[in-house]
């Protein structure tokens, strides 16, 4: 009996290793080739940009106070916030979204130089995925709660999501957030960069709507490549080339999973687009 248990455990380990190798092969096209290993060297310019990005993310929290945007909702809650309707939950998302847009402006001078139409396209079509990457940064997996600013924001219980999205979607949300939390424990800058990389993505959103053509495609692609290189350099410096590539494949996979998850959530939320109580800002992101 013990021999069977040992053999079963060994078989599970082999299958796990095979899955990991298959994932690594699947995403090998995203890895930097060995002859370009010099790209892993962090420069002073890189470190300056990373500090700017960290400062921008920290600074965004001091803006868009919940009591100024949703006073009627917060009056009915004390310390913990509970949403009784999907509309309340959707409107509450406007606060982290406004802060996230401010982060784009503070962290990326390239984003600021884009024309208004290109900015709107990138934000509108990528926000559903960016939102969940951002939320991972304020998620506490121990208490299963969300809170961006402990001084002013109310705490949201993650289980409240079950009421609106169902248990299956809830379990996926928590699963993906826990994976992102592993990277946050390494360095939260990894997620900051991942957000900026996906912000400058075009024709890769989770929406079924046709994305308009952007006018400065080359500049947007070059900017995205700059952030990709910076992310690679961080991982290479911390872990070395081989393990960094495995982590990169894991990041790519989780982003694809979150995009699919965002599509499922959008189908549920799109039913609220004609609801007069939904904020105008949020209706923009409900169009699917």
The answer as to whether 48 is a domain residue is yes
Rg (CA), the chain: 20
- Region of poorest pLDDT, from 13-22, 70-79, 112-121: 13-22
**Confidence band for 153, pLDDT divided at 50, 70 and 90:** confident
If DSSP states are collapsed to H, E and C, what string results for 19-57? HHHHHHHHCHHHCCCHHHHHHHCCCHHHHHHHHHHHHHH
Of 185 and 9, the structure prediction assigns the larger pLDDT to 185
In the predicted model, is pLDDT for residue 117 greater than 80?
yes
In the predicted model, is pLDDT for residue 28 greater than 50?
no
Q: What pLDDT shows up at residue 110?
A: 94
Please tell me whether the overall predicted TM-score, pTM, comes out greater than 0.75 for this model.
yes
The answer as to whether 14 is a domain residue is no
- Region of poorest pLDDT, from 23-32, 107-116, 125-134, 148-157: 23-32
Of 15 and 181, the structure prediction assigns the larger pLDDT to 181
CATH number at residue 184: 1.10.565.10
Of 27 and 73, the structure prediction assigns the larger pLDDT to 73
The answer as to whether 16 is a domain residue is no
Give the residue among 172, 75, 150 at the shortest CA–CA distance from 158. Answer: 172
Share of the chain above pLDDT 90, in %: 51
Q: What is the dihedral of CA 190, 193, 199, 202, to 10 degrees?
A: -90
**Tens digits of per-residue pLDDT, 49-80?**
999 999 999 999 888 877 777 777 666 666 67
The answer as to whether 171 is a domain residue is yes
- What average pLDDT does the chain have? 83
Q: What pLDDT shows up at residue 47?
A: 93
Q: What pLDDT shows up at residue 41?
A: 80
Side-by-side strand order, sheet with 145-146: 80-81, 155-157, 145-146, 139-140
Q: What pLDDT shows up at residue 69?
A: 73
Average pLDDT over residues 182-209: 86
**Tens digits of per-residue pLDDT, 242-269?**
889 899 999 999 999 999 999 899 888 8
Q: What pLDDT shows up at residue 281?
A: 87
User: How many structural domains are present in the chain?
Assistant: 1
**Confidence band for 287, pLDDT divided at 50, 70 and 90:** low
The answer as to whether 164 is a domain residue is yes
The answer as to whether 187 is a domain residue is yes
The answer as to whether 8 is a domain residue is no
Structural domain span for residue 215: 36-286
Average pLDDT over residues 6-12: 52
Average pLDDT over residues 120-135: 93
The answer as to whether 250 is a domain residue is yes
List, in order, residues 6 or more apart from 255 with CB less than 8 Å away. 129, 133, 194, 198
């Amino acid at each position: 009996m013990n021999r069977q248990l040992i053999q079963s455990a060994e078989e599970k380990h082999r299958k796990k290793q095979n899955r990991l190798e298959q994932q690594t092969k699947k995403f090998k096209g995203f890895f930097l080739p060995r002859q370009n290993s010099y790209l892993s060297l962090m420069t002073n310019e890189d470190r300056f940009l990373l500090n700017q990005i960290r400062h921008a993310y920290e600074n965004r929290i001091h803006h868009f106070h919940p009591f100024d945007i949703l006073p009627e909702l917060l009056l009915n809650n004390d310390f913990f916030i509970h949403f009784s309707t999907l509309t309340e939950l959707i409107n509450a998302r406007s606060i982290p979204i406004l802060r996230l847009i401010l982060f784009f402006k503070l962290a990326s001078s390239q984003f600021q130089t884009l024309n208004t139409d290109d900015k709107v396209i990138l934000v509108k079509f990528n926000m559903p995925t960016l939102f969940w990457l951002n939320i991972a940064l304020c998620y506490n997996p121990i208490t299963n709660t969300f809170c961006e600013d402990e001084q002013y924001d109310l705490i949201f219980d993650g289980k409240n999501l079950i009421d609106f999205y169902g248990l299956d979607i809830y379990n996926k949300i928590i699963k993906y957030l826990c994976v992102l939390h592993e990277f946050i424990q390494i360095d939260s800058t990894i997620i900051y960069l991942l957000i900026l990389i996906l912000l400058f993505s075009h024709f890769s959103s989770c929406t079924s709507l046709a994305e308009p053509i952007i006018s400065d495609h080359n500049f947007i692609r070059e900017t995205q490549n700059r952030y990709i290189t910076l992310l690679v350099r961080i991982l290479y410096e911390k872990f070395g080339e081989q393990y960094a590539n495995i982590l990169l494949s894991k990041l790519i996979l989780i982003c694809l999973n979150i995009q699919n998850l965002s599509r499922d959530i959008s189908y549920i939320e799109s039913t609220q687009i004609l609801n007069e109580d939904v904020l105008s800002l949020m209706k923009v992101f409900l169009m699917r």
